[in-house]
A and B are shown apart, each in its own frame.
Chain A
Amino acid sequence: MEEQIALLTANIEAVKQSAQLTNTMFAETYYFLSIPLMMIIHAGFLAYEMGATRLKNTLSSGIKNLLAFAFTIITFYFFGWWFYWALPTGIDGAMGAMEISGFAYANAIALPWGESAQYMGPNIADNASGVFWGAFALFAATTASIMSGALIERIQTVGFVILAIVLGSFAWVVAAAWGWHADGWLVTKFGVHDFGAAGLVHAVAGFFALGVLFNLGPRLGKFNADGSANHIAGHNMPLTVVGLMLIIVGFFGFLMACIILPGESWSWAGTGTTIYGTRMTLSALAFGIVLAVSGGIIGAWVFTRDPFWMMSGALAGIISVASGLDIYFPSQIIIISILAGIILKPCADFLESFGIDDAVGAVTVHGTIGIFGVLMLGVMASGYPALDAYAPEGVATITLWGQFVGSIVFILLGIVPGYIVSAILKSLGMLRVPDAVQEKGLDVVKVPAQAYPEGMNSPASEDV
C-alpha cells in the first residue's frame, strides 16, 4: 500500500512538472511569436511612408524607417529596458509595493553587464527575460516609427535617428514605467488604465512628433504666402493603403503581448491579466480589435471617401479603444471607434490650419486620438479598480480625473523632449535637409539606388 502511494505521489509530481514545462514553453512561444507579428507593423510603416512620399524621396523615406527600427532596438538593449524597471515610482528610483521596480531592481535584471547580464542573454534557467525584452523592444521601435511619417521628405537621417532613440528608448519608456507598470505612480496614485497603450505609446509618439514639427518646419511648397495649405500627394496610394493594413495586422501582435499569461512565477493570477494584474482574456481582444478597425473605417469614410483616411481611421479606431480593450463591451467599441473615425480628418485639418505640416496625419491619428481614447475610458470605466486584489490597500480606481492627469503627463512626455532635442539638432544643423536638396529630391542626392528604374505614370483623379 505504501509503495503504491509513493508511486502515485511520484506520478503526480511527474505530471505536475510536465504540465509546468508545457505551460512555460507555451508562454515563451506566445511572447516570441508576438515579436514577428509586431515586425509586420514595420513592414506596414515602410510601405505606408514610402507610398506617401513623392517619387523623388521614396527610398530615403524607407532608409529612415529601417534605421529608426535598428537603432531603437539596439539602444533599448543598452538602456531602454533599464529605464522601464528603474522609474515606475518616480525619478528617485525607489522600490514600489510590488517589489519589481526601482534602481536596485533594474540594476539586478536589466543591465547588460555585471550580475544582471545573466538575464540579458542566453540562460537555460530563464525562459522569460528574452521574450519579454523582445516584445518591449518592438513596442519601443513601433513608438519611434509612429513619429516617422509626420517628418518625411525634409528631415536628415541621422537627426531623425537621434530623435527616434530619444523617443523609443527613453520618452515612451518613462511613460510606460509610470502608467503601464503595477508599481507605476500614475497607476497607484491616479488609477491610470491604458491597457493597449493609447496614451503611453500613441499619444507620447504623436506629441513627440508635434514637438519636432515646430522646429523642423513644413515641406517646401506645403503652404502658400497667405498661409493656405497645398495637398502634397504621395506617389503610390495603393502601397500606402496596404501598408496601413499591415500595421493593423501587426497590432494583433502588439496587443497580444500586452497580456500577462497565467501559471508562471511572474504571473499575476490564475488567469490571463493585463500588465496591471486585472483579469482579461484574448477573447476580449478578438471582439475589440476587429470591431474597432471596422468602426474606424466606417467613421472616416463618411466625410472623406478617401482610402488613405479610411485606413488611417482603422488605426484611429483601434487607438481610440486601446486603453480599455480589456473591459469594453463590443457595442461600446463600435460607437467610440466610429466617432474616432469621424473626428479624425477635421482634427488633422485643424492642426494644418496652424501651419503644421504633419505629412501623414500621425500627430492626429496617434496623438489626438490617443488622448481621446485615454479620456473616453475615464468616462466609461470610472470606479473600476485599477489594480487587482493583490495590490496594497488604498490603491486608486479608474476615474476621468486620473485619466486626465495621465493624458497631461503623456502629452508632456512627448512634446517636451521632442521639442528640446529637435531644437538642439536644429542648432547643430542636423535637423532639416537643405532646401536645394529637397527641391532636387533626397534619393538622387544620397541614395545609390533607384525606386522605379522603369518609371511609372498614371492619370490624375477627377474627384478632388
Chain B
Amino acid sequence: MFGFSFDSWADVTGAMYIGVGSEGVWTVIAVIVAIATLALGYANEKAHYDKHQ
C-alpha cells in the first residue's frame, strides 16, 4: 500500500509511484471518496433549498 517496490532509483525502469501492486485499492478508495463528497454536497445544498421554501 505504501512505499516503493525498489531500493534505488537506478533500478527504476518502469512504473515509479508509491504503492505499486495496490493501485486497485487506492482507486476503490478514491471512487468512494468522490461519491461520498457528491452525496454530502447534495445533502448540504438540499438543506439550503428546503430552508428557503
Contact = CB atoms under 8 A, between A and B. Distances in A.
Nearest to A448: B48
A445 B52 contact: yes
A192 to B, nearest CB: 34
Contacts of B15: 117-118, 121-123
Contacts of B2: none
A120 B27 CA distance: 11
Nearest to A112: B27
A112 B23 contact: yes
A113 B24 contact: yes
Interface string A126-152: 100000000000000000000000000
13 contacts: A78-B27, A112-B23, A112-B27, A117-B15, A120-B23, A121-B15, A123-B14, A158-B41, A158-B42, A436-B52, A437-B52, A440-B52, A446-B48
Contacts, number: 68
Interface in B1-41: 12-17, 20, 23-24, 27, 30-31, 34, 38, 41
A446 B45 contact: yes
Contacts of A157: 41, 45
A394 interface: no
A161 B38 contact: yes
Interface of A: 71, 74-75, 78, 112-114, 117-118, 120-126, 156-158, 161-162, 430, 433-434, 436-437, 440, 445-446
Label chain B's interface by main secondary structure. helix
Contacts of A161: 38
B23 A117 contact: yes
Interface of B: 12-17, 20, 23-24, 27, 30-31, 34, 38, 41-42, 45, 48-49, 51-53
Given A123-B16, A157-B41, A113 B52 contact: no
A81 to B, nearest CB: 13
B12 A156 contact: no
Given A118-B14, A121-B17, A124-B12, A436 B45 contact: no
A28 to B, nearest CB: 16
A117 B23 CA distance: 7
A160 to B, nearest CB: 11
Given A78-B27, A446-B45, A446-B48, A124 B13 contact: yes
A158 B45 contact: yes
Contacts of B23: 112-114, 117, 120-121
Contact of A437 (B24, B31, B34, B49): B49
